[in-house]
């Protein structure tokens, strides 16, 4: 049975939401693509890629993807699993023996590849904790700041902080995918950027995406939320998020000495992200097998709660358990995530629906009134 088509007014409703967000100066600009059954039914570049220069946003604009990087790296990891270079039950120490974080009592615990993919490894993110937390004191980078910091130094900093919980017992969004990226590089014997290019980017023709910037002239200028309206980010910008602060250094992406962040280091276009998500939705294409995509998009942490009501976690992103608890019109089994530079995406497999919303405004484009209103406009609620 085919999915119910979107109603004829959904595009008009999206236009109203976007126009209001621009007029109210909640976001500076962005690109949205809405596809159903593989057909792109709505596409729009809106607002400005650079407000001070009056440069319009276009569908070809490149964005700092931040956590939109995670599912791409996760698929590359699962391709390595399929190739026998990596196994989900492999301990981290098999590939990175120097990475041995311990519990607060000094007890060493085994952390597996699967626990890294599912964010159940006992690790954390500094920005997800109140200021002054142990990650901040150890100067751990969340993969978004400290240009020039090496992977070796950041791994040592992460390992110096006691595990937040015994691996496999809880869920916490974390630097786990950065650790996974180093495991992947060592398992394959090539750098993470080259590995992701070879396993995902090139097979899918994602010509504008990678850990570098393919065309700097098309890179969106980043902005941050402010009570008076979005402000242009400086060399180092702190963005409030819950009880913590997201530390952003936009120039990091140009520094070849910066470690390749598997959790936040890629750049790309909305069209490339749509291509990637559609490939996973339709069974993996030339990248991974259908059984791998089924495992990736299923709830992998049954019995463990995340910090988002109604949402579980697959092998790379959130998976919807209970639409009522999550207060969303999306169907059970929808998978989604975003990125702190201002991005939100989701795939509702029940309706064969894929939506990509990339903006240059942190964090208004990722979470809160704007992306929720876009979602509701699509569903007509």
List residues with catalytic annotation: 67
Rounded to 5 degrees, φ, ψ at 251 are -75, -5
Rounded Cα distance, 256 and 107, in Å: 36
Assign 24 to helix, strand or coil. coil
Q: How many CB atoms within 10 Å of residue 324?
A: 9
DSSP 319-351: EES-HHHHT-SSPTT-EEEEETTTEEEEEEGGG
Q: Between 69-82 and 270-281, two packed helices, what is the crossing angle to 10 degrees? A: 40
- Kindly give, in sequence order, each residue whose CB lies less than 8 Å from that of residue 131, ignoring residues fewer than 6 positions away: 243, 244, 245
Rounded distance between C-alpha atoms, residue 135 and residue 127, angstroms? 9
Task: In whole angstroms, give the CA distance from residue 251 to residue 342.
Answer: 17
SS3 (DSSP) at 287: coil
Length of the chain as a residue count? 381
Phi, psi of 35 (to 5 degrees): -125, 140
Measure the CA–CA gap between 208 and 268, rounded to whole angstroms: 5
Maximum C-alpha span of the chain: 60
Nearest-5° angle of CA 341, CA 262, CA 142? 55
- The answer to whether 57 and 44 have CB atoms below 8 angstroms apart is no
């Amino acid at each position: 049975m085919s999915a119910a088509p979107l109603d004829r007014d959904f595009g008009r409703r999206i236009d109203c939401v976007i126009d209001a967000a621009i007029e109210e100066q909640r976001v500076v600009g962005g690109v949205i693509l809405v596809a159903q059954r593989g057909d792109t039914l709505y596409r729009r570049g809106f607002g400005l890629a650079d407000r001070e220069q009056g440069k319009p946003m276009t569908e070809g604009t490149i964005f700092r993807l931040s956590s939109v990087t995670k599912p791409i790296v996760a698929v590359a990891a699962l391709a390595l699993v399929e190739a026998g270079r990596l196994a989900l039950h492999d301990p981290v120490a098999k590939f990175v023996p120097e990475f041995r974080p311990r519990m607060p009592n000094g007890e060493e615990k085994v952390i597996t590849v699967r626990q890294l993919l599912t964010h159940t490894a006992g690790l954390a993110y500094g920005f997800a904790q109140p200021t002054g937390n142990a990650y901040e004191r150890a100067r751990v980078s969340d993969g978004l700041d400290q240009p020039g910091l090496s992977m070796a130094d950041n791994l040592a900093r992460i390992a110096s902080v006691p595990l937040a919980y015994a691996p496999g017992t809880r869920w916490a969004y974390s630097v786990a995918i950065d650790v996974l990226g180093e495991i992947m590089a060592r398992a394959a014997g090539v750098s993470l950027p080259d590995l992701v290019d070879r396993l995902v980017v090139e097979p899918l023709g994602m010509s504008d995406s990678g850990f570098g910037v393919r065309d700097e002239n098309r890179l969106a200028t980043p902005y941050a939320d402010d009570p008076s309206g979005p402000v242009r980010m400086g060399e180092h910008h702190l963005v409030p998020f819950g009880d913590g602060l997201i530390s952003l250094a936009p120039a990091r992406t140009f520094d070849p000495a910066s470690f390749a962040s598997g959790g936040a280091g890629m750049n790309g276009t909305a069209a490339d992200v749509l291509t990637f998500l559609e490939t996973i939705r339709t069974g993996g294409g030339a990248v991974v097998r259908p059984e791998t995509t089924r495992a990736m998009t299923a709830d992998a942490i049954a019995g463990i709660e995340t910090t988002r009501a109604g949402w579980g976690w697959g092998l790379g992103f959130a998976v919807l358990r209970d639409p009522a608890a999550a207060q969303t019109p999306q169907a059970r089994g929808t998978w989604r995530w975003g990125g702190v530079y201002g991005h939100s995406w989701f795939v509702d497999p029940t309706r064969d629906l894929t939506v990509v919303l990339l903006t240059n405004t942190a964090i208004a484009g990722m979470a809160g009134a704007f992306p929720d209103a876009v979602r509701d406009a699509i569903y007509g609620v």
